[in-house]
């Protein structure tokens, strides 16, 4: 490990700003540079906690370009903190490339524990949470049905992230591939004022959200196949 700089991966609230940890605030205040997925979104968070450090954008469209310069700065002794718009960077968010390059370069990486949307969703679902697989976002077009069909025999509880605009389509396709009677749970707006978890079969959930248009960030939890 280099004894110079360090990368901190810092989770930020998925909803309520009170979910920010004391340690996360301190690390962000002490960092030489904060890498943010969207500087406007993160600017609101940083202003709330009176964090005035230098900030630079680091998102999926520029991360290949920024990684090299960030590695150089850390090697020169700087402490860099990485945040995404919400939750833990690297989980369906930019971050993996930078962490991998730090590991390759012998740079210390510390990921703080904290907010991530899928843990509250699976715990609140009432579905088995002793073993699960995180699938993140399904492919939108190419490879989508292949992925869904491959999950038909998955025995662990499955977790998906989904947009409100594609939720009904995804529930319908899952019902076709896994069977409409498969139990599932939809959690939306986690840690926000309108937080809601709706449980039922895939068919029931598809009908519910056809009648009640979903809004906000969504985590879909689906029971695994019977042993």
- If one counts every other C-beta atom within 10 angstroms of the C-beta of residue 179, the result is 13
DSSP character at residue 87: B
**pLDDT in 10s for each residue of the chain, 227 residues:** 445 799 999 999 999 999 999 999 999 999 999 999 888 889 999 999 999 988 888 888 888 888 999 999 999 999 999 999 999 998 888 889 999 999 999 999 999 999 899 999 999 999 999 999 999 999 988 999 999 999 999 999 999 999 999 999 999 999 999 999 999 999 999 999 999 999 999 999 999 999 999 999 999 999 999 97
Domains, the chain, ordered by start: 6-111 (3.40.1010.10), 118-222 (3.30.950.10)
Sheet holding 33-36, edge to edge: 55-57, 33-36, 79-83, 6-9, 108-111
Closest by Cα among 153, 165, 156, 169 to 205: 169
In angstroms, the CA 208 to CA 45 distance is 34
pLDDT of residue 1: 41
Closest by Cα among 21, 11, 19 to 42: 11
Residue 213: phi and psi, rounded to 5, are -60, 125
CB 176 within 8 A of CB 168: no
- Count CA atoms closer than 13 A to 2's CA, side-chain side: 21
Question: Kind and range of the H or E element at 103?
Answer: helix 96-104
pLDDT of residue 2: 42
Closest by Cα among 180, 184, 177 to 149: 177
């Amino acid at each position: 490990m280099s004894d110079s700089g360090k990368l901190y991966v810092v989770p930020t609230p998925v909803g309520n700003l009170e979910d920010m940890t004391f340690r996360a605030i301190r690390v962000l205040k002490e960092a030489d540079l904060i890498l943010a997925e969207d500087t406007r979104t993160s600017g609101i968070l940083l202003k709330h906690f009176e964090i005035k450090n230098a900030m630079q954008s680091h998102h999926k469209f520029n991360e290949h370009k920024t990684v090299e310069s960030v590695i150089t700065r850390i090697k020169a002794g700087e402490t860099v903190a990485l945040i995404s718009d919400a939750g833990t960077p690297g989980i369906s968010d930019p971050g993996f490339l930078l962490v991998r390059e730090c590991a390759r370069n012998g740079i210390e990486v510390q990921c703080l524990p904290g907010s991530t949307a899928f843990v509250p969703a699976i715990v609140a679902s009432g579905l088995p949470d002793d073993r699960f697989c995180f699938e993140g976002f399904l492919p939108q077009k190419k490879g989508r049905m292949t992925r869904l069909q491959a999950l038909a025999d998955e025995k662990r509880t499955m977790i998906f992230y989904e947009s409100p605009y594609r939720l009904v389509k995804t529930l319908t396709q899952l019902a076709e591939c896994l069977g409409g009677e498969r139990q599932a749970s939809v959690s939306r707006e986690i840690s926000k004022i309108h937080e809601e978890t709706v449980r039922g079969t895939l068919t029931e959930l598809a009908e519910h959200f056809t009648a009640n248009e979903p809004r906000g960030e969504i985590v879909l939890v689906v029971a695994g196949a019977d042993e």
